[in-house]
Every structure is written in C-alpha cells, then in structure tokens.
C-alpha cells in the first residue's frame, strides 16, 4: 500500500500561503502575491492528482472495494479517554474526488483572478482569502471526524463571509456577507446539535467507525423514538440542516443569490463549485449511516432537494441579473445532487444514486465554474450584471462565447457532454425509486435548458444595446481557465465513476437507460432550448406576452416568491417586536438600570466625599491625628479590660 | 545627674513638645515653619527614647542608637524637604502650603 | 529641691515655652531662633540623662546644621520683615482641640501607668562603646542600620542636588 502521509501538505500549503500573503502582502507588488497564491495552489493541485492516481490505480482493493485510508491523524484536543477531537487526513473515494474538484477549480480561479482582479484595491488580500478558503475547504474534505469537519465547516463559512464582503465599501456587499454568514450560521446550529446527538448516541466522532457497516456505532443507532422517528434519524436530519444551509437548500437558500455581490471568481469557486456542495459532501460522507440506520432522513433529503431544484429553476427563468440566474441554477443543480443521494440505496447497483450524485457534483463543479468564469468575462467586458445591457456579444467575445455555449449545452443535458451522463444517472436512480421525484426532476431538466439558453441567447445574440465602449475579449489569464474548464466539461463525463466512486467502494456497471430516462430528458432539454431560441434569439415581444400570460407565477418568481420578504416579516415584525423588544427592554432598563444605578451611586458618593482630597496637607494631618487619638481612646479605655 | 527626677516628667515634657509640634503642623501656612514643627516632634520622640533607655533599660543601648539614627534621618529629611521647598518656591513664587494643592481631587 | 531638679525645670520650661513660641510667632526668623533655643534645651535634657555624646551631636547637627539650613532657606524664600497673618480662627481652634485632647490622653495614660525601672547596672556610654557598637554586629551591634543610614544620606544628597537643580530652559 502506498504511503499517503504527504497528503497533509495539500491543505497545509494554502494555509502557509495565506499567512504569508496575509502578513506580508502589503509589502510586495500585488502581482507577486497573486503568483505566490497561484503557485501554492498549483502545488496542492499536483499533489492531489498524484494522490488520486495512486489511490485509484495503485492501491490494493480489499474484496474489490476501495478502502478508507487514514493517511495522517493526530489527537488535537484530548478531553477524556473517549472524548477527543482529532485532526487528520482521511482518504476514500469521495474525499479524493473532492480533492480533485476543489484544487482544480480553485487553481483555475486563481489563474483567472490574476486577470479579473487586476488593478483592484486589495489584490493581495483577495489572494490571502482565496488561500484561506482553499485551506478550509481542503481541511473539510479531508476531515477524519465529524468535529474536524465542523471546525473547517465554520472556517469555510468565515472565508466565504470575507470573500462575499470583499468590496466592503459597498453596503450591499456588506449586508450580503452578513446575510450569508447569519443564515449559514443558523443552519450550523442544527449541524452542531446533530453532531452532539449523533456522537452522544454512537460514542464516536470518527467517520471510519461511524460508517462501518454493521459496526458498533450503527448498532446503537436506533435508540429512543421521538415523534415517530428514532434519535438517529433526528440527529441526521439536524446534520442535514447544516448541510442544507451551506448548500442553499430550500428554505435556507436566501443567502446564495445575495452572495453574488462578491467578486465573480469567488462566486465561481465558493458559490458554485466547492463550498455549496459541502452539504452534499456531508450527506455523502455519512451516507452509510443515512442509508442503513435512518432511511427516513434520506427521504427528507430527497424531497428537500427535489423541491429546491424545482423552486430555484422557476425563479432562475425570471431573473435579469446573470449572476443571479447562475446562482439559482446552482441551487437547482445541488438540489439534483441531493435527490441523487436521497433516492439512493446502499451497496452495489442500489447505490446508483449515490454514485450519480457524486458524478454530478464533479461534472457540475466543472461546468458551473466555467459558467461563472464566463459570466465574469462578460461582466469584465460590459461592466454590468444586468441582461438588458447585453446582447450580441458573440462578435466581441469569441472565446467566451464558445466556452459559454459548451457549458450551456452541458448543463442542458445534451448527449455525450458530461452532465448528460451524470444527470441521467440521477434521473434513472429516481425513476426506480420514486416516480414523483423523477417527473419533477425531468421537468426541472427542461427548465434548466430553458433558462440557461435564455441567458445564452439574451447575452450573445438578441439586439445589441448601445455600449459605452466596444467590449473586448478577456486577457489570456482569463481565457485559459475557460478553455481548460470547457474541455473538462466535455470529457469528464467519460470518467468511469461507477468503477471508482461508489457507496460501498465496490465497482458496478452503470448503463444508460435510453428508453425510460435518456430519451425523455434529451427531448425535454431540446424543448427548453427551442423555447428559449424562439423567445430570445431575436428581440421579440414574446417574453413579455408570456410574462403577462403567466402573470401570477412570473411576478412571484421574479420576486423570488417573496421569501426574503417573508423572512424579513418574521424576523422584523414578529421576532423583533415580540421577543427582541421585551428582551431589549429588560436588558436596558432592568439589567443596565441596576448597573447604572450602582455606577450612579458610586459617582454621587465620590463627588460628595471628594472634598476630603482637598490637597490641604494640614487637613489630612488633622484627620490623621484625630483618628490616631480616637484609636488611642478606643484601645486604652474601651478594650483595656 | 538624673537622680531625683522621675521618668514621667521627661515623658510629659516630651508629650507637650510633641503636641505643640502637631499644633504647629496643622496651623502654619509657611512650609519652612511646618518643617520646624516636624523637627519639634522628632526631638520630642528622641527625648522619649533616651528617657526610656536610661530609666528602664540602663544596661542596653537601643534607645540611644535609635535617637542617633533619628537625628541622621532628620538631617536627611530636612535637606530633602528644603530642596523641595525651594523647588516649590521657584514654581509658585511662594511657599504657602495651602496653595500647593494642584494634585487635589 | 536639688540642683538637678532646678535644671530640669528650667530646661523643660524653655522647651515648652519656646516650642509654643516657635509655632505661633508671626515672624519667621524669630520662629527659627526660638527653635534653636528649644533644640539647645533638648541637648541639655540629653546631658541630664547622661548621654553626653548625643547631646553633642544634638548641638552640632541640629543647632549647628539644621537650624542654619532652615535659616538659609528662609533667607532664600521669604522677606524677613514680613509678618505672617494669623491663621484662620477655626483652623486654630480645631488644631488646638486635637492637640490638647491628644496631650491630655497621653499624659493621663502616662501618669496612670507605673513604670518599673530597670535594675541592671547602667552602662557608661562613652565614645569607645558607641564606635564599637556602630561597626559590630550581633548583640548590641548596629553595623546594619549604620550602613543603611549611610546609604540614606547618600541618596538624600543626590536627591537634593537633583531636586534643587535649576531646570535648564531652552
């Protein structure tokens, strides 16, 4: 078996880069810090590829299954013999796959940002935060135990907060970063509760012992039932709540569209390819526990995922800001992954959904990063996010146009591009498991094709608005990642995931179900593209007429079904008025009042007696002598007998 | 030489001298006169020490040496005090103790 | 009445009267002179207690040194012919009350207490004994306080120079 201890360097290099740039970034030229960050991450990426190669092809399988390898482990916090928090590196198929995803996308984003962020204030800061994020994400991916994962989970949240609020002089960016942080933090509360219940029940934080099939941990799982579900199920639902927060699942999705206030490369890295799939990864990490001891939890995952994907897809059809369209698209695709996990069983061919979900995660990371980076190139060219101010850009941005088209075709599920394979496998898993979810997802596939091509036609074709200056193609540092990711989007579909990343580590044969699944999904996709083509290829009144025809849905979707407003109403009108105000009143008047009155009394008395400190030495002497005489009297006459 | 004079007489004399010094310390405004009052008090204490030594412990020397050291300390104290007084005089152009109250409150 | 007693009465009368004059005189130079008389009478007291060396020290150091120092500083800081205003009445009353009560308290305590005189044979405190005591240690040795006092005097000397030195103004 090969020695994997070098993998600990993969997260450590970015953290050193972060410290280096963070501390010394202002002393060097911005471009130098950018190059240092990029090179550091490049080394991590190379190490990840080596790791993946040797893990998948040079490591012995036991009983035909990939083993979980503890490449590095150290006790970090020892509370008692049993309760200790470890830090380490765990290698198994999904973590190795995630390593590839994270380092690849992050590396591409690093290169891309060299061009995109050029001349921005805080260039070095940007690279420091990117490195911090990469470190946190890699630490999360490689976590050996659920507590380490939680720590890095929060670190990821912090770096996401920092990066969304990168333009901290812009009020909208500040409030978006706050919103993202608070919403995910709220979700993480659920995660923490889940962790506590789970480890209380099973007595371990460790992933390996948690997920051992028929192991001690799972056997203790049943436990007491509460509201008809076992404690194990409840804890996993809570854990999923954390995952839903990070992955922007309904109803905790509201932060993701606002997070687009951050610089576009950040959106590509964090809010498309890596951080938002952390929730999926979390469920996948605990998948054996879900599948074997809490199948009800998985049902929740499936329905939440399915609803989120539909919900987000509908909203995406109406949004005018290209980054927001992509944000909702991300949410929708993550919903797909959740569905994949939710409809999966454990082991062998039953684990098709798991495999498909991971597959989709992988391909999605590539094409979604490509879409975001492409959007970044467009924004870079026209200095606007809004679709109305774009059109006919294919002439000016040829490379961006081609790569963007490839990404759109991929996400629409056109055959023989990567997402075709991964999405179809999710659909076929759903088909065999739950027909309702299958049809919803099929419809979502059509909507996906529609809104992506709406975006595509609107931006690259349609009527050309009046540009202040002629848009120009992005520099080489930005187009190279685009091209690389476009190639990845086309060909990653041919990676034999069913041989590599499966629920129990065993390879199985997956095949495309043409009749039941593939043909309908292709047809739906083509219909979506066709509708978009008719409506948006040229400027026409069709979209407006459609909008007025479906007024209710359109207005609802355009306003994101008023979810922000509902949350605002609940928080501002109900929680603030009926909980926060009385608490604030109590705090201000009773608690503060008590403290203030103590302070006031002290102050008052001090002012009254400050005359003693008159500076008149003779007065002091008088008081001193009188006191001495008094004490003399007391001791001689009162205490003598 | 001390035959026929009881100890208490020395002590009463010293006591009166001491409290006159206290009175002076409390009433005088000029810092140099306050210093004089302090010297009075120190001398009263010295008389006490010596009287006790002579009457109660004639075979020992503690009181005597204590008085000696008090004289040395008093000399040092007087020197330092006068230096400070001169400095205050430079600063305020008088040596009224009631006006040197900038550190109050 | 023996000569001793007459001497004692004279000395104590001088001490008390001139003490009071010292703290009440309205001319500062006179106050200093009265203080000189008090100090000299105190030296007389020491003589009466058979501490000749200390009496000599008292005369040279106090009468000769400190009073001269005080007079110097008076000349530096005051107009000699200037008369002090009498201090405020209330201040005098308070101070007098405190002092008199204190004096009465101490005197009554003293008079009510019976002292048991020491029975050991009196030591002849001559220069030889004092010198040896000052540089020896152990029983009846005072080398340590002697050294301390020497350091104190050195420190005082330096401090006086530092404090009294004129601050250079640029």
Q: What is the rounded distance in angstroms from the CA atom of residue A40 to the CA atom of residue A107?
A: 9
For residue A1, the model assigns a pLDDT of 45
Q: Are A363 and A420 in contact (CB under 8 A)?
A: no
Chain-chain contact of B101 with A614 (C-beta, under 8 angstroms) = yes
Q: Is B1 a member of any domain? A: no
Task: Tell me: do C79 and C103 sit in the same domain.
Answer: no
Chain-chain contact of C105 with A618 (C-beta, under 8 angstroms) = no
Residue C147 structural domain: 3-84+124-164
pLDDT digits (tens, 9 = 90+) for A109-155: 888 888 888 777 888 888 888 888 888 888 888 888 888 888 888 88
Q: Is C12 a member of any domain? A: yes
Q: Are B7 and C109 in contact (CB under 8 A)?
A: no
Residue C100 pLDDT greater than 90, yes or no: yes
Task: Tell me: do C20 and C98 sit in the same domain.
Answer: no
Tokens 């409390």 belong to which residue?
B26
Of C79, C34, C42, the residue nearest B74 (C-alpha): C42
Residue B45 pLDDT greater than 70, yes or no: yes
> What residues contact A53, with CB distance under 8 A and at least 6 apart?
none
Chain-chain contact of A614 with B104 (C-beta, under 8 angstroms) = yes
Q: Is C32 a member of any domain? A: yes
Task: Tell me: do C41 and C23 sit in the same domain.
Answer: yes
For residue C80, the model assigns a pLDDT of 73
Give backbone dihedrals phi and psi of A74, rounded to 5 degrees, phi first.
Answer: -145, 140
- Which residues in C lie closer than 8 A to residue A626 (C-beta atoms)? 98
Q: Is B104 a member of any domain? A: no
Q: What is the mean pLDDT of residues A485-489?
A: 85
Chain-chain contact of C94 with A618 (C-beta, under 8 angstroms) = no
For residue A2, the model assigns a pLDDT of 56
pLDDT digits (tens, 9 = 90+) for A190-231: 888 888 888 877 777 777 777 776 666 566 555 556 666 677
Q: What is the rounded distance in angstroms from the CA atom of residue B20 to the CA atom of residue A78?
A: 73
Measure CB to CB from residue C102 to each of A618, A629, A636 and give the nearest one.
A629
Q: Are A404 and A325 in contact (CB under 8 A)?
A: no
Task: Tell me: do C49 and C93 sit in the same domain.
Answer: no
Chain-chain contact of A614 with B27 (C-beta, under 8 angstroms) = no
Chain-chain contact of B75 with C65 (C-beta, under 8 angstroms) = yes
Task: Give the minimum alpha-carbon distance from C14 to chain A in angstroms, rounded to a whole number.
Answer: 25
Residue A66 pLDDT greater than 80, yes or no: no
Chain-chain contact of C101 with A629 (C-beta, under 8 angstroms) = yes
- ∠ CA A66-A67-A73 to the nearest 5 degrees? 145
Q: Is B45 a member of any domain? A: yes
pLDDT digits (tens, 9 = 90+) for A546-584: 667 667 666 766 676 677 777 777 777 777 778 888 888
The count of domains in chain C is 2
pLDDT digits (tens, 9 = 90+) for C31-40: 999 999 999 9
More confident: A612 or C73 = C73
More confident: A608 or A565 = A608
For residue A221, the model assigns a pLDDT of 52
Mean pLDDT of chain B: 87
Q: Is B68 a member of any domain? A: yes
**Which among B98, B100, B102 is the top mutation candidate for probing chain A, defined by the most A β-carbons within 10 Å of its own β-carbon?**
B98
Task: Tell me: do C129 and C59 sit in the same domain.
Answer: yes
> Per-residue confidence at C41, pLDDT binned at 50, 70, 90?
very high
- Looking at the complex, does the CB of residue C143 fall below 8 Å from at least one CB of chain B? no
pLDDT digits (tens, 9 = 90+) for A303-326: 888 888 888 888 888 888 888 888
For residue A474, the model assigns a pLDDT of 73
Mean pLDDT of chain A: 81
> Per-residue confidence at A398, pLDDT binned at 50, 70, 90?
confident
Q: Is C68 a member of any domain? A: yes
pLDDT digits (tens, 9 = 90+) for A421-446: 888 888 888 888 878 888 888 888 88
- Which residues in A lie closer than 8 A to residue C109 (C-beta atoms)? 632, 636
Residue C15 pLDDT greater than 90, yes or no: yes
> In a 3-state reduction of DSSP, which class is residue A68?
coil
> In a 3-state reduction of DSSP, which class is residue A73?
strand
DSSP string, C118-143: --SPPP---HHHHHHHHH--STT--H
More confident: A50 or A561 = A50
Percent of chain C past pLDDT 90, that is, above it, reads 33
Q: Is C169 a member of any domain? A: no
Residue B72 structural domain: 7-92
For residue A374, the model assigns a pLDDT of 86
Report the residue of chain A nearest C94, measured CA to CA: A622
Q: Are C123 and B57 in contact (CB under 8 A)?
A: no
Using CA atoms in the order A72, A78, A83, A86, what is the torsion angle rounded to 10 degrees?
-20
A46, A98, A281 from A93: Cα distances, Å:
18, 9, 12
For residue A63, the model assigns a pLDDT of 67
A283, A405, C51, C54, C71 from B2: Cα distances, Å:
106, 124, 11, 16, 34
Task: Tell me: do C104 and C41 sit in the same domain.
Answer: no
| Pure H helices in C25-142 | 28-48, 52-57, 67-77, 89-112, 127-135
Q: Is B103 a member of any domain? A: no
Measured CB to CB, residues of chain C less than 8 Å from chain A are 91, 94-95, 98-99, 101-102, 105-106, 109
Tokens 């597959």 belong to which residue?
A359
For residue C170, the model assigns a pLDDT of 57
Report the residue of chain C nearest A621, measured CA to CA: C95
Task: Tell me: do C89 and C44 sit in the same domain.
Answer: no
Task: Tell me: do C12 and C38 sit in the same domain.
Answer: yes
Residue A83 pLDDT greater than 70, yes or no: yes
- Which residues in C lie closer than 8 A to residue B81 (C-beta atoms)? none
Task: Tell me: do C108 and C28 sit in the same domain.
Answer: no
pTM for the predicted model, two decimal places = 0.66
- Looking at the complex, does the CB of residue B99 fall below 8 Å from at least one CB of chain A? no
Measure CB to CB from residue B22 to each of A610, A615, A625 and give the nearest one.
A625
Report the residue of chain B nearest C164, measured CA to CA: B83
More confident: A57 or C11 = C11
Q: What is the rounded distance in angstroms from the CA atom of residue A146 to the CA atom of residue A194?
A: 10
> What residues contact C93, with CB distance under 8 A and at least 6 apart?
none
For residue A30, the model assigns a pLDDT of 80
Chain-chain contact of C95 with A622 (C-beta, under 8 angstroms) = yes
| Pure H helices in A461-518 | 476-491, 497-500
Q: What is the rounded distance in angstroms from the CA atom of residue B22 to the CA atom of residue B19?
A: 5
Q: Is C50 a member of any domain? A: yes
Q: Are A331 and A308 in contact (CB under 8 A)?
A: yes
Tell me the CATH number at C149.
1.20.120.1200
Tell me the CATH number at B75.
1.10.287.3510
> Per-residue confidence at A641, pLDDT binned at 50, 70, 90?
low
The count of domains in chain B is 1
Q: Is C97 a member of any domain? A: yes
For residue C10, the model assigns a pLDDT of 92
Least confident of A238-252, A501-515, A591-605: A501-515
Measure CB to CB from residue B68 to each of C57, C77, C152 and give the nearest one.
C57
Q: Is B99 a member of any domain? A: no
Percent of chain B past pLDDT 90, that is, above it, reads 34
Of A402, A589, A358, A555, the residue nearest A490 (C-alpha): A402
Q: What is the rounded distance in angstroms from the CA atom of residue A551 to the CA atom of residue A560?
A: 14
Q: Is B12 a member of any domain? A: yes
Beta bridge partners of A226: A229
| Pure H helices in chain B | 7-27, 31-56, 62-92
The count of CB pairs under 8 A between chains A and C is 21
Chain-chain contact of B104 with A613 (C-beta, under 8 angstroms) = yes
Cβ density class A489-519: b for 16+ within 10 Å, e for less: bbebbebebbebbbbbbbbbebeeeeeebbe
Chain-chain contact of B97 with A614 (C-beta, under 8 angstroms) = no
Task: Tell me: do C79 and C136 sit in the same domain.
Answer: yes
Largest CA distance in chain A: 115
Structure-block tokens of residue A514? 């043409």
Task: Give the minimum alpha-carbon distance from A12 to chain C in angstroms, rounded to a whole number.
Answer: 60
């Amino acid at each position: 078996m090969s020695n994997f201890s070098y993998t600990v360097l993969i997260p450590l290099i970015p953290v050193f880069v972060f410290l280096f740039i963070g501390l010394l970034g202002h002393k060097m030229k911005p471009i130098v810090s950018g190059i240092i960050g990029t090179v550091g991450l490049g080394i991590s990426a190379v190490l990840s590829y080596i790791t993946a190669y040797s893990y998948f092809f040079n490591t012995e399988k036991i009983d035909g299954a990939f083993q979980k390898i503890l490449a590095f482990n150290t006790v970090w916090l020892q509370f008692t013999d049993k309760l200790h928090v470890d830090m380490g590196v765990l290698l198994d198929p999904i973590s190795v796959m995630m390593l590839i995803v994270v380092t690849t996308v992050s590396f591409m984003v690093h290169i891309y940002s060299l061009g995109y962020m050029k001349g921005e204030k805080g260039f070095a800061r940007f690279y420091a935060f990117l490195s911090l994020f990469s470190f946190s994400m890699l630490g999360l991916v490689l976590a050996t135990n659920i507590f380490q994962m939680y720590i890095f989970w929060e670190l990821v949240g912090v770096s996401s907060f920092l990066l969304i609020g990168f333009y901290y002089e812009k009020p909208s960016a500040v409030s978006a970063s706050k919103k993202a942080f608070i919403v995910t933090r709220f979700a993480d509360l659920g995660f923490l509760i889940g962790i506590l219940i789970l480890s209380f029940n099973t007595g371990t934080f460790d992933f390996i012992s948690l997920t051992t099939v028929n192991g001690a941990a799972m056997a203790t799982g049943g436990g007491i039932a509460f509201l008809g579900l076992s404690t194990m199920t409840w804890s996993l639902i809570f854990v999923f709540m954390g995952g839903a927060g990070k992955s922007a699942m309904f109803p905790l999705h509201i932060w993701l569209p606002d997070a687009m206030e951050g610089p576009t490369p950040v959106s590509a890295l964090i809010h498309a390819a890596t951080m938002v799939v952390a929730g999926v990864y979390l469920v996948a990490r605990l998948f054996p526990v879900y599948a074997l001891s809490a199948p009800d939890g998985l049902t929740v995952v499936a329905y939440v995922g399915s609803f989120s994907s539909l919900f987000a897809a509908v909203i995406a059809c109406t949004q005018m800001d290209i980054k927001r369209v992509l944000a909702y698209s991300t949410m929708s695709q993550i919903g797909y992954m959740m569905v994949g996990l939710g409809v999966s069983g454990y082991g062998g061919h039953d684990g098709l959904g798991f495999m498909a979900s991971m597959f989709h995660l992988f391909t999605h990371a590539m094409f979604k990063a490509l879409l975001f980076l492409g959007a970044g190139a467009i924004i870079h060219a026209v200095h606007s996010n809004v679709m109305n101010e774009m059109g006919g850009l294919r002439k000016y941005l040829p490379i961006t146009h081609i790569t963007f088209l490839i990404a759109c075709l991929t996400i629409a599920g056109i055959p023989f591009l990567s997402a075709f394979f991964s999405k179809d496998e999710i659909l076929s898993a759903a088909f065999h498991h739950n027909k309702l979810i299958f049809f919803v997802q099929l419809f979502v596939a059509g909507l996906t094709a529609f809104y992506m091509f709406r975006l595509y036609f609107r931006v690259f074709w349609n009527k050309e608005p009046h540009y202040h200056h002629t848009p120009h193609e992005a520099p080489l540092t930005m187009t190279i990642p685009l091209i690389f990711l476009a190639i990845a989007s086309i060909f990653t579909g041919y990676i034999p995931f069913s041989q590599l990343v499966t629920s129990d580590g065993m390879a199985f044969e997956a095949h495309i179900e043409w009749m039941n699944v593939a043909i309908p999904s292709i047809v739906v996709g083509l219909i979506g593209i066709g509708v978009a083509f008719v409506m948006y290829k040229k400027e026409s009144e069709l979209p407006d007429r459609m909008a007025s025809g479906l007024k209710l849905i359109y207005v609802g979707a355009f306003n994101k079904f008023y979810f922000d407003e509902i949350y605002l109403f609940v928080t501002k009108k109900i929680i603030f008025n009926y909980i926060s105000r009385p608490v604030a009143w109590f705090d201000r008047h009773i608690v503060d009042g008590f403290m203030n009155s103590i302070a006031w009394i002290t102050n008052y008395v001090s002012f009254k007696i400050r005359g003693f400190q008159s500076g008149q030495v003779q007065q002091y002497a008088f008081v001193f002598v009188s006191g001495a005489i008094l004490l003399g009297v007391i001791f001689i006459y009162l205490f003598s007998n | 030489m001390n035959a026929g004079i009881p100890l208490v007489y020395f002590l009463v004399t010293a006591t009166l001298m001491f409290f006159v010094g206290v009175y002076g310390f409390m009433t005088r405004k000029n810092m140099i006169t306050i210093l004089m009052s302090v010297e009075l008090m120190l001398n009263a204490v010295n008389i006490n020490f010596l009287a006790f030594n002579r009457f109660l412990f004639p075979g020992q020397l503690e009181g005597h040496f204590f008085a000696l050291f008090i004289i040395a300390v008093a000399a040092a104290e007087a020197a330092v005090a006068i230096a400070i007084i001169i400095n205050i005089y430079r600063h305020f152009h008088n040596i009224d103790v009631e006006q040197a109250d900038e550190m109050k409150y | 009445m023996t000569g001793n007693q007459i001497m004692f009465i004279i000395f104590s009368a001088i001490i008390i009267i001139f003490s009071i004059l010292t703290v009440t005189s309205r001319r500062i130079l006179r106050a200093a002179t009265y203080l000189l008389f008090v100090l000299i009478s105190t030296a007389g007291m020491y003589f009466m207690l058979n501490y000749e060396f200390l009496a000599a020290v008292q005369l040279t150091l106090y009468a000769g040194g400190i009073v001269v120092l005080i007079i110097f500083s008076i000349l530096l800081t005051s107009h000699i012919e200037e008369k002090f205003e009498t201090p405020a009445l209330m201040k005098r009353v308070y101070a007098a009350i405190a002092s008199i009560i204190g004096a009465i308290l101490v005197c009554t305590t003293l008079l009510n207490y019976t002292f048991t005189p020491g029975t050991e044979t009196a030591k002849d405190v001559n220069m030889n004994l004092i010198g040896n005591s000052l540089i020896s240690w152990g029983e009846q040795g005072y080398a340590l306080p002697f050294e301390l006092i020497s350091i104190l005097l050195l420190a005082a000397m330096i401090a006086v120079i530092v404090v009294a030195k004129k601050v250079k103004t640029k």
